[in-house]
A and B are shown apart, each in its own frame.
Chain A
Amino acid sequence: MSKIELRGVSKAYGATLALRRGDLSIDAGEVHVLIGSNGSGKSTLCKILAGSVRPDGGEILIDGKPVTITGPRSARDHGIGIFYQELSLAGHRTVSENICLSDMPVTRAGFVDRDALEARAARYVALFASVAGDGFSADTTVENLRADQRQLVEIMKALATEAPVIIFDEPTSALDRAQVDRFFEILRDLKAEGRSIIFISHRMDEIFAIGDRVTVIRDGETVGTERIADTNPAAVIRLMVGTQDELAPTNGAPHATAVARTFVLTLQNLSGKGFANVSFEVAKGEILGFGGLHGQGQSSVLRAIFGVNPVASGEIVLGGKTYAASNPREAIRRGLAYVSGDRGRDGVISGRPILENVTPIHYLRQKLRLARPAALADRVRPALEALHTKFGGLGHPINSLSGGNQQKIVIARWLIDRPDVLLLDDPTKGIDLSAKTDLFALIRKLAAEGMGIVLYSSEDAELLNNADRILVFNGGSVRRELTGADRTRYNLYQAAYEAA
């Protein structure tokens, strides 16, 4: 009998189906790997098990008995612990307090039992004592730790649940070799104790080093479970790709290859927070794609170029001149444009009319101080029409529009005064299909007119269909460049899961 079993679990966020039919069966004493491309639903599946997301349908069985998991507390009571990819640490608390946070020992008088707390935390700190590095001790506050050390604390916290089932959602992304080795030794001990481990990683070598079985999820659906001993990386990737391994259509045929390529943007060994040694050049009229699993540095590079995040070292050349990415204002003046998929944070000026949402860049680039609304409206309309934006009137608040049309407004902002380079940071997140079609038609048109475009998309089909070249990111640096006929789903996944 399986320790834990999921049958047909589903979850939708609004109109987006994050998980269509999740099936999973975990035995006691095994390390079970979950694998799938971006947005395939593996993290959603884990969050459902951990109680931080409620499923819409399906069944969860523990030891053969159906259970309802109502929240993180209830998951713990059912014997499920989790390591969160985005970490769940309290920055101002100490390592010990974080390890014991969810279940602090108390004395009979109701006070926190400091001695018991320290003693319990010390057990888990000791597990990693040989690899934790300088400045790591049980009484350090978490905000003073390095990224890898924080990840170790989150691992210790997951271990401290002492749960029979522990989920590790990308626990090794910031760890060095020795730390991963130590972690795997601990996992093997847990396995020997008969505990079940669900393991997600973006490194194929790790998956094959530690896993017993692997379950592949594609487009929100479980497509198969294999014993690791009976399979190989190529077969797993083929299962992830499924029947979609057609050659990327070349409807956006490379424009600039024949002519002498003039580079509008060149990066030389750029490093910063979340990425290292990134070099590439974008030619006039080219669409350069950023691919790979989500959060491997793609966004960080784009945001660094646009001056949102600091650059540690390296050089950026923009239109033939070196450029210090100091802040977005400077970037805009130099002819850069940036559109983020996170409209709420980076794009929409919430609650304000459409006109005001389209014009801020125009004001900045033309150094406008005063403008007549009617004159502005004349400049704005063509930009909006180019995208087939549907709106009631320029005076209507932007919030009255659908997500897709809001994003079109944000993009139209950049079209009044054409930039030289357009940076797209997962621009289609959460927008409908027809808006996506309009968007990519426009992007290809802009490229044809000579704009250099960098497109990061977490949807692989968008990349394969639209990018002339694809740089595959893994662990903050470029692993592989895919051009021409190499631009296939198979190659994309293989590079994305390559050892960092």
Chain B
Amino acid sequence: MTDATLPTTRPGGLKRLVERYPFLPALVIALVLLALNGFYQPRSVSFIGITGLTKTYLALMMLAIAQTYVVYAGDIDLSAGAIVSLVNVVIVVMMEKMGGSGFSVVAALGLGLATGLACGIVNGVVVAALRLQAIVATFATSIFFTGLALYVMPVAGTPAPAAFWRTYGGRFFEIPFVFYAVVVLAIMLYVLARTRLSTQLLAVGDDAQAAFQSGLPVTRIRIQGYALCGLFAALAAFCVTGDTASGDPLVGGKMTLFSVAAVVLGGSALSGGYGTVIGSIIGALIIGLINSLVFFVGTPSEWQNLVQGLAILLALMAGILVGRRARA
């Protein structure tokens, strides 16, 4: 039954492996894509190349993480991108108003986190407490958040202070800042995975009724999932701001569905109860690698979207096929 091309220690070894690490198929796809990138553009796998890739796609990784926590519980957040936009313009305007000093940056980031958290709680209350359908309700709040963002900054283009984006793009002790961010992120995820909340979210996603009957506070858990999603969306907004160095009230909109795609590419089930955060990060990476590969192969610009779309479809199919084969 199991795939003969991979070494297995005992019958069902691959099955066990994929069950334990649902992101394995995604990891293989990501490595293949990385190799292809290196083949067509050797410089892309250099230290500078990897740094650039991380710098550009750290935001999507953050947003994919955000999305993962709500997907754990069988929910979805279609406003994640709008939260990114809102936090982006809020912190840029705040930093500008306060003069762009180091203190203003810290204060603005605090406000940004609070904004993301508030948006997440609004989503959670609307979906879990008021019991509206997650897809429609978060679509509605996404319009609402975008409206707020347009009120805060009607036209894109206000620059972020140099102190902010120089830090994001800069180096400390010869190591790019984004790698420190990745390390901090890894520690955060490690810690989060060990809290009760992760298991509870997954249990709710498995069967909300069963979780309720087991005595879990289902509504509160789902709201907490959305709150966590809002916080990580705010972190994603910080990365976007560091990367683009300006405010744009519509910058996050496109990212929403990419974040959902990344979660699925990473092997999580949209129906909830099954998945990993690492998988979603790898999923985001796959999307990034596809985009750069399409560019490196030299696709004419008018064909780039089409090829990107096909490549993402292929990656999805490959991941699902491998996962299904291994779990059958």
Contact = CB atoms under 8 A, between A and B. Distances in A.
B323 interface: no
Contact of A104 (B199, B202, B217): B199
B195 A101 contact: no
A384 interface: no
A87 B202 contact: no
A92 B202 contact: yes
Interface in A38-86: 50, 52, 71-73, 75-76, 82, 84
Given A111-B194, A112-B199, A141-B19, A90 B215 contact: no
Interface in A96-117: 97, 101-104, 106, 110-112
A97 B196 CA distance: 11
Contacts of A92: 202, 206, 273-274
Given A72-B212, A102-B216, A90 B273 contact: yes
Contact of B213 (A50, A104, A112): A50
A73 B217 contact: yes
B239 interface: no
Contacts of A146: none
A112 B19 contact: no
A88 B213 contact: yes
B181 interface: no
A73 B215 contact: yes
A91 interface: yes
A89 interface: yes
A193 to B, nearest CB: 22
B194 A101 contact: no
A114 to B, nearest CB: 8
Contact of B202 (A52, A88, A93, A102): A93
A195 interface: no
A303 interface: no
30 contacts: A52-B213, A71-B215, A73-B215, A73-B217, A75-B215, A76-B215, A82-B213, A88-B207, A88-B210, A88-B211, A88-B213, A88-B214, A89-B207, A90-B203, A90-B210, A90-B211, A91-B206, A91-B207, A92-B274, A93-B199, A97-B199, A101-B203, A101-B214, A102-B216, A104-B196, A104-B199, A106-B196, A110-B196, A111-B195, A112-B195
B18 to A, nearest CB: 12
A44 to B, nearest CB: 14
Nearest to B192: A111
Nearest to B214: A102
Given A72-B215, A76-B215, A84-B213, A90 B207 contact: yes
B253 to A, nearest CB: 31
Contacts of A72: 212-215
**Max count, chain A CB within 10 A of own CB: residue among B195, B200, B213:** B213
A111 to B, nearest CB: 4
Interface string B34-78: 000000000000000000000000000000000000000000000
A157 interface: yes
Interface in A143-181: 157
**Max count, chain B CB within 10 A of own CB: residue among A71, A72, A103:** A72
A69 to B, nearest CB: 12
A363 B213 CA distance: 44
A112 B200 CA distance: 11
B273 A91 contact: yes
Given A101-B203, A141-B19, A110 B214 contact: no
B186 to A, nearest CB: 16
Contacts, number: 70
Nearest to A105: B196
Nearest to B212: A72
How would you classify the secondary structure of chain A's contact residues: helix, strand, loop or mixed?
A: mixed
B196 A90 contact: no
A336 B216 CA distance: 44
Interface string B185-228: 00000010011100110110011011111111100000000000
Given A110-B195, A141-B19, A157 B207 contact: no
A112 B216 contact: no
Contacts of B210: 84, 87-90
Contacts of B274: 92
Nearest to B269: A92
B12 to A, nearest CB: 10
Nearest 6 pairs of A and B residues by beta carbon: A90-B206, A88-B210, A102-B215, A90-B203, A111-B194, A72-B215
Contacts of A104: 196, 199-200
Contacts of A88: 207, 209-211, 213-214
A157 B214 contact: yes
A99 to B, nearest CB: 10
Interface string A425-444: 00000000000000000000
B90 to A, nearest CB: 30
A277 to B, nearest CB: 29
B284 to A, nearest CB: 23
Contacts of A89: 206-207, 210
B161 to A, nearest CB: 36
Contacts of A111: 191, 194-195
Interface string B269-312: 00001100000000000000000000000000000000000000
Contacts of B195: 110-112
Nearest to A82: B213
Given A73-B217, A102-B216, A103-B215, 18 more contacts: A50-B213, A73-B215, A88-B207, A89-B207, A90-B207, A91-B206, A91-B207, A92-B202, A92-B273, A92-B274, A93-B199, A93-B203, A101-B200, A101-B216, A102-B215, A104-B200, A110-B195, A112-B199
A436 B212 CA distance: 35
A141 B20 CA distance: 10
**Max count, chain A CB within 10 A of own CB: residue among B191, B207, B217:** B207
A86 B216 CA distance: 17
A235 to B, nearest CB: 35
Interface in B149-196: 191, 194-196
A52 B212 contact: yes
A90 B200 CA distance: 10
A72 B219 CA distance: 13
Contacts of A84: 210, 213
A104 B215 CA distance: 11
Nearest to A141: B19
Contacts of A101: 199-200, 203, 211, 214, 216
A161 B19 CA distance: 29
B68 to A, nearest CB: 14
Nearest to A77: B215
Nearest to A106: B196
A160 to B, nearest CB: 11
Nearest to A107: B194
Interface in A192-220: none
